[in-house]
A and B are shown apart, each in its own frame.
Chain A
Amino acid sequence: NAGVTQTPKFQVLKTGQSMTLQCAQDMNHEYMSWYRQDPGMGLRLIHYSVGAGITDQGEVPNGYNVSRSTTEDFPLRLLSAAPSQTSVYFCASRKTGVGQPQHFGDGTRLSIL
């Protein structure tokens, strides 16, 4: 009963490094999304996808890339890490259609030094 799986759970990077946050779901959900949450703030949408091969920008896309080559996986790439990207990152998925709630992964806690 995996649901949405995010790896790693914790990561520390140096400024300028790149890395990929992994997200996988086993529920055959078409819609997947990435959010970041800074201390004391709400969730902000980074990128989302409505199906394999289709991605779109959210509210705060700069500094991040995504791809969706399969239904199951939706990795988030940080191109050149900056301290402003220190945050908790959540991946979520749901079926498309009316009335479908999102299911979240446990989150990745990322610190950029």
Chain B
Amino acid sequence: RKEVEQDPGPFNVPEGATVAFNCTYSNSASQSFFWYRQDCRKEPKLLMSVYSSGNEDGRFTAQLNRASQYISLLIRDSKLSDSATYLCVVNGGTNAGKSTFGDGTTLTVKP
């Protein structure tokens, strides 16, 4: 079983739709959680950190459920420019400080 698992998609949605991505992690000792965005095999870029209380950045909302070892990302009012691959990242756990990436979920927003 992979340490971090994501639904690979692809998700194809119309502009303006709301879409949610899920991620599960296997190690309960994990300490930090993030969502990254990657465009067309360019370098991954930080989208947002994920906090236990949940956090929002404009149209993006991230949630963490430590009991279920589950992370989510909600995108509201999707834009064409949101088309990308979204990566779930978990720090800590089995090796102190090691960052583990999920394989990513691909989103295509269509006009």
Asked if A107 CB lies within 8 Å of chain B CBs, one says: yes
From B43, B45, B96, B104, contact of A42 by CB (8 A): B104
**Which residues of chain A from 22 to 50 have any CB-CB distance to chain B below 8 Å in the complex?**
31, 33, 35, 37, 39, 41-43, 45, 48, 50
* In the bound complex, CA of A92 to CA of B31 (Å): 19
Indicate which residue in A31, A45, A90, A96 contacts B44 across the interface (CB closer than 8 Å): A90
What's the nearest-Cβ distance from chain A to residue B45, in Å? 7
Within 8 Å CB of A102, what residues of B? 44, 46, 89, 99
Chain B minimum-CB-distance residue to A92: B99
Judged by a CB distance under 8 angstroms, whether B41 is at the interface is: yes
Prevailing SS type, chain B contact patch: strand
Rounded to whole Å, the gap between the CB of B38 and the closest CB of chain A is 9
| Interface contact B95-A56, CB-CB below 8 Å | yes
Establish whether residues B32 and A43, one from each chain, have CB atoms under 8 Å apart when the complex forms: no
Interface size class of A (residues with CB under 8 A): 20 to 34
Q: Are B101 and A43 in contact (CB-based, < 8 A)?
A: yes
The answer to whether B97 and A50 touch across the interface, beta carbons within 8 angstroms, is yes
Which 3 residue pairs across A and B have the least CB separation, nearest first?
Answer: A42-B103, A104-B43, A43-B101
- Residue positions of A touching B, CB distance < 8 A: 31, 33, 35, 37, 39, 41-43, 45, 48, 50, 56, 58, 88, 90, 92, 94, 96, 98-107
* Beyond known contacts A99-B49, A100-B32: 7 more, CB 8 A cutoff: A31-B97, A42-B101, A45-B99, A56-B95, A99-B31, A101-B49, A105-B43
